[in-house]
Amino acid sequence: MAENTPKKPIKEKKGRKRSNISLLNTINRIDSLVENGIPTNYIPHLIFLAVLGIFYIGNSHYAESMIRQTNKLESQVENLRSNYTSRKVEFMYSSKQSEIIKAVEEKQLRLKESNKNLYKIKLKKNQEENTEK
């Protein structure tokens, strides 16, 4: 069995490492720029960033409202679909011949069920042409 050996440390990238002091120096330089007011050449960039930020916020609010509306519509569609299927089943049940007979008997109408066999009426070709004219 092989021996466990410690991993070699990952070599750090060569280059300048920023320390806390260099960050403070950078902030201090920015302070010296703004000391006498904001330079006018930065104003268009700041306005662009502000407009971009407002656009980003508005877009996120719009997306959230669209998601809420989509969820609401999906639940409504599901409710309508269930209503449709339940009514379809009710209609299929109520249109059965036995159910129609029960409904007619309850209303005491003088309808009765035919006992004759069903048959098809077939037309000959020359009769079909005469009926179309």
Backbone angles phi, psi at 14, to 5 degrees: -75, 145
CB atoms within 10 A of CB 40: 7
- The residue extents of the domains of the chain are 23-109
CB atoms within 10 A of CB 104: 14
Question: pTM for the full model?
Answer: 0.46
Q: Distance (Å, rounded) from C-alpha 17 to C-alpha 123?
A: 98
| Half-sphere exposure (Cβ direction) of 32: Cα atoms closer than 13 Å | 6
The winner for highest mean pLDDT among 15-19, 64-68, 89-93, 116-120 is 64-68
pLDDT tens for each residue of 94-125: 888 888 888 888 887 777 777 888 888 888 87
